[in-house]
Structure 1
Amino acid sequence: MYKIFDTVDEVSRYTTQRLLDKIRTQPTATLGLATGSTMEPVYAQLLASLHNSPLNVSKLTTFNLDEYIGLSADHPQSYNYYMHQHLFNQLDIPEESIHLPDGLTDNIDSACQCYSNAIKDKGGLDLQLLGIGTNGHIGFNEPLTSFNSRTHVVELSEQTRIDNSRFFNNKAEMPTHALTMGILDILEAKEIILVATGKHKAQVMAQLFHSSIDESLPASALKKHNNLTIVLDREAATLLPEQVCKNAV
């Protein structure tokens, strides 16, 4: 299902409402969370909504999609730091209920297996929030990642490193590898919301719409999911067929 809005603010308000509905109806939900510039207005709107109409979030469990290898949790460009700055520091979720891959783990294989197992032990993800890379990656699952993958190490593509290096003052600090939740972990979520905004996402969203389900475009795996919502602003939807845009308001 596509939902297309005129502005980023409307996208954020709709996505926030979906998150709030999940929290209200399922206070013990397990949420899969994403990072990146697309999510910042979503988390800002979520915090504003919870400030105006408080909900008990203390029983939630969260799992983030990914983390850079080599960055400590307090590094300003780590996703652990991002999540605490943009969300967790202002929410009453116990730290032990917050899960992110460990970018400094000494045993990567064990850490990956434990991460996927921890998701399974919680009964899977009740709702997974996703962004999408310009090359179609979800999480850090780059093109040609197996659709049967669990949490694993990925070498970041040149395109991903170019896209993300803008966040680093010194582009040489941009990591080459990351830990990411696998595509199968994502697909096993009971509900998925994919959010994309801006003109720079228009090409990949058109590619996703027209593509077959193929590992060369990781996000195409989402077409196999029976409870997927794709939320776009007008700019990200620019290259979609006119009829899709008409039906998605």
Structure 2
Amino acid sequence: MALNFKVFETKSIAARYAADIVRKQFNGDSTSVVGVHLNDENTTFFDELFDNVKKSPVNFSQIHVLDFDDKEDYYTELGVPSKQVIKTDVGGDVESVIKDKVNTDKKKNKLMLNVLTLTDDSRIGLDYDSSIHPAREVVLLVTGKEKAKAVKQLYEEPANGSVDSAKLKQHRMVTVVLDNEAAQGLPEDVRSYFSIQFS
């Protein structure tokens, strides 16, 4: 499947766009299970998500977060009950974690959204088959000039290639959210085609 690129002028606008997707998922499905593994993208994303939820309140009573980054304090401050912030091992099988620990009104809970990033060497840090593929949708937030090479590798490498992040091309729904600096890894025509405004 194709990756859906979105290029924004700044890091904060890119994070705002990713946060808006997450907040809309929370509002659209009050029993959402969302995984977050953002490493160095955490702070800006969390600030934007917090502001977004203040403007458009969310009922967190049945929302569950698979917390790969050990950020429980952030989620509880956001409004997610602490028992629904599930510390998740990066090597774990998310479907087993959900089956064992997620309890909502739905009979069959699924990972609706994974919010991820890339390292400088184009790694995701999660196993594709057990932690990424089960998600209905993936949002990949990548910012900063130090990540331009990782974005280039993601764009150029075939899905079955040696670059870890290229496996995302096997997924049915991936939105790659970039700031202009990280997007320097894309060819100029691609970068300009996917540049959008968001406020």
1:34 maps to 37
Structure 1 112/238 Cα, relative in aligned 2: closer, same or farther at 3 Å? closer
Structure 1 204/27 Cα, relative in aligned 2: closer, same or farther at 3 Å? same
Structure with larger RCO (C-alpha < 8 A, sep 6+) = 2
Larger radius of gyration: 1
Structure 1 100/52 Cα, relative in aligned 2: closer, same or farther at 3 Å? same
Aligned length: 184
**TM norm structure 2:** 0.84
Distance 1:118 1:102 in 2: 9
Amino acid at match of 2:174: L
CA drift at 1:24:
1.2
Distance 1:35 1:2 in 2: 18
CA drift at 1:223:
0.3
Unaligned runs of 5+ in 2: 103-108
What are the superposed Cα offsets for residues 61-111 of structure 1, whole Å, 9 maximum, x if unpaired?
11133xxxxxxxxxxxxx32xx134x22313222221111369xxxxxxx9
Distance 2:188 2:88 in 1: 40
Mapping 1:39-188, distance limit 5 Å: 39-65=42-68, 79-80=69-70, 83-85=71-73, 87-101=74-88, 112=92, 116-120=95-99, 123-138=109-124, 140-141=125-126, 182-184=127-129, 185-188=131-134
CA contact (8 A) 2:121 2:149 kept: no
Distance 1:52 1:23 in 2: 14
In the alignment, which of 170, 173, 177 is matched to residue 231 of structure 1? 177
1:207 maps to 153
Kindly, what percent of the aligned residue pairs are identical?
26
1:19 maps to 22
Distance 2:173 2:99 in 1: 19
Amino acid at match of 2:187: P
What are the superposed Cα offsets for residues 101-148 of structure 1, whole Å, 9 maximum, x if unpaired?
369xxxxxxx946x541235653310000011122211x24xxxxxxx
Distance 1:247 1:102 in 2: 37
Q: CA RMSD in A?
A: 2.1
CA contact (8 A) 2:38 2:115 kept: no
**TM norm structure 1:** 0.68
CA drift at 1:215:
5.5
2:11 maps to 8
Distance 1:102 1:3 in 2: 29
